A and B are shown apart, each in its own frame.
Chain A
Amino acid sequence: MSEPFLIGDRMSGGYGKGPNILHDCTVAVEKGEIAVIVGPNGAGKSTAMKAVFGMLDVREGAVRLDGEDITHLSPQDRVAKGMAFVPQTSNIFTSMTVEENLEMGAFLRRDDISGTMEQVYTLFPILKDKRRQAAGELSGGQRQQVAVGRALMTQPRLLMLDEPTAGVSPIVMDELFDRIIEVARTGISILMVEQNARQALAIADKGYVLVQGANRYTDTGAALLADPEVRKSFLGG
């Protein structure tokens, strides 16, 4: 089997000089697919994502994007390589308008960004109506749309989302997941950490169940949902 588009291969590491949080952990995503990392609280889900993005020290293992070893690149350099990251909190510029948020997302680009901005507005029509409004005045779901929109402005090949549905209502959550599927259909790979494991696995091509910083189960989203072990331990029966 050929190598996935992005792979965090057998990563071990932790923050600063602290102990290892990840132990031999592997996450990967294929081109245009959705991979979801789930697991109990403190399982190292977000940490695994941050390791892939270069926000913590990967002491063993490697991160490869499109076959290229990027283990030692800074997060900024990874953005330039086509990775985009939406943090869980403080993921928008609250004092700036929606449009300015999108412009800042495209800060590294020197070409015309109006086309990409139009795509984002097509994906999230509500943002177009509110483009002159300060992003901090929007509702939780709309803020998440701004955050995802900002990340898409770099025209990334890989979009990483850290709990995009944290703190939004179930209706908004379904809506966000729909949009995420749409993004994946345009050929952008998506790596996502989710607290709402059941719904997230339902849209996932690939699922990773982490426990204490290590892989416990890895399979397609549908297979994990069907697995009685996984259901009993992690999905509440």
Chain B
Amino acid sequence: MVDVLNALVVLANFVVVPGIAYGSQLALGALGITLIYGILRFSNFAHGDTMAFAAGAVILVTWWMQAQGISIAPLPTALLALPFGIVATVLMLLFTDRYVYRFYRRVKAAPIIFVMASLGVMFILNGVVRFIIGPNDQRFADGERFIIRARDFKTLTGLDEGLAIKVSQGITVVTAVGVVIALFWFLNRTRTGKSMRAYSDNEDLALLSGINPERVVLIVWIIVGILATVAGTLYGLDKTYKPFTFFQLLLPMFAAAIVGGLGNPLGAIAGGFVISFSEVTVTYAFKRVVTYLVPEAWAPDSLVQLLSTDYKFAVSFSILIIVLLFRPTGIFKGQSL
């Protein structure tokens, strides 16, 4: 019995807790992608680097605050810097919209042209972020590190295995839930939110109803800016901040949005967790879990790991391919590709 508990704790510590945190981060990123797809009707390849830019802005403000001695310990100072990062990111997004996307909207360009334009924005942002903050790892997390430490958990429960929950993981989940609730309230309960859904549903009829498309576009970018800043900062706090990792996140985030159903916010969240748990479980070495569960003689010699962690991106890619082949509209019904 104790062995079963130990196995569960190991699983929780290395699979469930990191999976939930990573899933929340992916879900927030995928929400941004899915909103742009649903309303502006293109796949925004610059979204990963938007998150890098946003988190970078938050880091700069965090450093400044740390230097000024401003702190909200035990919470990380970065939370205090979030609003500043959001403002910077929204301004940057509105700038790109004004000088890049608006032109293509006016000439009613095909979606693929938008995608290519976003690719260009991506490369430029890529360079800008590296130019400002550098390509290396940046540390900006401060405050308390753990909600519960592995050692404390062991003494508390008397089990052999410990469960550690980082503050960043707790903040990630709480913030993600808050942001998602706010987003859904906005989309389903407010006049402006409903007009955005209407625009996404049927653009021509929205125009006939007097909905102003430029206003819808403006609000989409503001929401995307908030989502990208929150997602990027949470990811940076939880793992590490390095501009390149956000570019790599593009694949799992798109996979999450597509698995859930492009254009469907609920799907983006579900997709985020599907991708994160697939990645974590497929690349996790189950040796210790299995050792606890089976009789001693059966204990495995190998790591019981399906794929090396180096291949984690292959997981999202495979899921993406499978979904596109067998259910192109995603789990929840989104727009077909």
If A96-B194, A100-B194 touch, whether A105 touches B209 (CB-CB below 8 Å) is yes
- Given that A104-B198, A107-B195 are known contacts, is A92 also in contact with B210, CB under 8 Å in the complex? no
On chain B, the residues within 8 Å of A105 by CB distance are: 209
Of A91, A100, A154, which contacts B205 at CB under 8 A? A91
Q: A95-B197, A96-B197, A104-B195 are in contact. Are A87 and B210 (CB under 8 A)?
A: no
Interface 9-residue window, one of A35-43, A74-82, A123-131, A210-218 = A74-82
| Cβ-defined contact, B198 with A93, below 8 A | yes
Task: Verify if A150 is at the interface (C-beta below 8 Å from B).
Answer: yes
Q: Assuming A76-B207, A100-B198, what are 16 further A-B pairs, CB within 8 angstroms?
A: A79-B208, A79-B210, A80-B210, A85-B208, A87-B205, A90-B202, A90-B205, A91-B205, A92-B205, A96-B201, A100-B194, A104-B211, A107-B209, A107-B210, A150-B209, A154-B209
> 4 tightest CB-CB pairs across the interface, nearest first?
A108-B210, A93-B201, A104-B198, A107-B209
Contacts of B209 in A (CB 8 A): 79, 104-105, 107-108, 150, 154
Q: How far is the CB of A177 from chain B (nearest CB, A)?
A: 23
Docked CA distance A81–B301 (Å): 79
- Residues 181 to 217 of chain A near chain B (Cβ within 8 Å): none
Query: Are B201 and A94 interface neighbours, CB within 8 A?
Result: yes
* Chain A neighbourhood of B201, CB < 8 A: 93-96
Report A's interface with B, CB cutoff 8 A: 75-76, 79-80, 85, 87, 90-96, 100, 103-105, 107-108, 150, 154
**Whole-angstrom distance between the alpha carbons of A234 and B211 in the complex?**
40
Collect the chain A residues with CB atoms within 8 Å of residue B195's CB: 104, 107
- A-B contacts, 8 listed (Cβ < 8 Å): A76-B210, A85-B208, A90-B202, A90-B204, A93-B206, A103-B194, A104-B198, A108-B210
Residues of A within 8 A of B198 (CB): 93, 96, 100, 104, 107
Q: Which residues of B contact A100 (CB under 8 A)?
A: 194, 197-198
